[in-house]
Structure 1
């Protein structure tokens, strides 16, 4: 009876912390969106950052307590992996916002973290939130290395893709190309050419020169920053995805006797790798910037979610254990 009572109290504690995290992320989302709508209220962005930090700590408490209580790294089922993904997103959010102090970052990442936590803590059935004994294939040190690296790579790639989607939204669907050349930026959109140098900004349209407004100059700088940040973030997530896939192949050979079996999860992991490899290829070798690579990254956003959740909802393949069936 004492053991049952401890289990019940532990599950209730996890559930209460999860509900608090959802409230914090909801408050963070509202704060960031309000700070964007009312830019003079700068304290709202700080409130969003604080609530995100507290939610990050709350996720650490949940995962850490499950690790100690169950005796294995908490990445054995859908609940734990979603929590880990939410932790990865909030961590990357805080790091990016520390690097570039822009409230838009929180405005696009906080809602995703909130929806993930909402599904995890509220929508996911109670029996799927509880830890269960590991199947033989999961009783390996590869569980920590492979799954954790994959989840962090997913969080990083999702963030980079969200920034690319944000670029497309702010560009309003126009074909915008940002080309850097010795502190000059050529901005081509609807036969308009914007040239920006250190001292002046000139708009040339039909040989008529017009001084660019400060608002347009700020928009160009913002678009350039988002495009560059998206590229850097995806450039960080792609090597981690590569390492995670290789580690998974080694683990698969140890557990099932083959490095690659074209399991649905493996196939979609390869598709995800190819999509983001194509993105980086166009950026590095083709010199693409702006709309075209942003479209590729946006496709990657969908592919990552299919690879992570879509395959698990099918309940088929070697990777369906511990998830959904």
Structure 2
């Protein structure tokens, strides 16, 4: 039902647009909690609408809807909104939605408005895609992209908040609680101590963002690893070789190396604070080049059903 899918896509864009402004407004007026709840509810509705679109395409076409750029963009936005809701539920802070919702909104806008109508239509699968590996490899890769994008966004946010500040983080490995080099003995009885209290709250936010970015990337990296391995096995089945240095494969390897370096430095605590966040921010750009930029080259084995 193309008309239903188009209507739901437009509704999803509008919902995410409203949610984005609700999140931004809730940051400006943090005491009005209902605004944040409206934003979160809008993201939930948007996620359900994307679920209906993908399910309808799956049902009508008879294969998992990841065969072209339009479907993969919808799935990427679905993954981003799911992870956003999970993280929001964990830290109870609207800043996650304020950062992530605009990205999901622009993805939906690009898929629904920028892509030609012909590219939005489902088409018969090419022979190489007629495999059970389609669901496993592509879905895992896109979920890894969504997770790494969100984790990198948090690192970018960390860099923005800590701009010009000397922040010392300790105990940053996964499973440990971060600590900040500040005085936690604060009284609320004087204006000076109230300033210290605000500083303490800001430092707690910085700590949360840094640790959450690390944990999110720590989840996305094994997904990326599994996706690359599954793709190699599928490539051998379809083309008779595990690795052909296709542009998409090469950039997937570059992405893997960057986030491997990020996690390695964090686990060994050789880097602290802003340095690993800068590396993760570079990873944000590389993920987009790997996922979307390579397709504009029109070369390689991964261009079927995408951009020509």
Aligned to 1:143: 134
Question: When the two structures are superposed, what TM-score results if normalisation uses the length of structure 1?
Answer: 0.89
Aligned to 1:109: 100
Give 1:166's match in structure 2, choosing from 157, 160, 165: 157
Give 1:259's match in structure 2, choosing from 216, 226, 242: 242
RMSD over aligned CA atoms reads 1.8
Give 2:17's match in structure 1, choosing from 15, 21, 26: 26
Residue 185 of structure 1 deviates from its aligned partner by 3.7
SS of the residue 2:302 aligns to: helix
Q: Is the 8 A contact 2:15 2:43 kept in 1?
A: yes
Distance in 2 separating the partners of 1:126 and 1:37 = 39
> Which of structures 1 and 2 has the larger relative contact order (alpha carbons within 8 angstroms, sep 6+)?
2
Question: What are the residue-to-residue correspondences of 1:122-141 with 2, within 5 Å?
Answer: 122-141=113-132
Q: Which digits, 9 at most, give the CA deviation of each residue in 1:116-157, with x for residues without a partner?
A: 001111121100000111000000000000000000000000
Aligned residues: 300
Aligned to 1:153: 144
Distance 1:258 1:178, change over 3 A: same
Give 1:293's match in structure 2, choosing from 276, 280, 283: 276
SS of the residue 2:209 aligns to: helix
> Is there any run of 5+ residues in structure 2 with no aligned partner, and where?
none
Give 2:70's match in structure 1, choosing from 74, 79, 87: 79
Aligned to 1:70: 61
Give 1:248's match in structure 2, choosing from 211, 214, 231: 231
SS of the residue 2:217 aligns to: helix
Counting strand residues as a fraction of each chain, which structure ranks higher?
1
- Bigger radius of gyration, 1 or 2? 1
Question: When the two structures are superposed, what TM-score results if normalisation uses the length of structure 2?
Answer: 0.94
Matched, 1:268 2:251: yes
Residue 289 of structure 1 deviates from its aligned partner by 3.0
Aligned to 1:190: none
Distance in 2 separating the partners of 1:227 and 1:108 = 14
Q: Which digits, 9 at most, give the CA deviation of each residue in 1:53-76, with x for residues without a partner?
A: 000000000000000000000000
SS of the residue 1:213 aligns to: helix
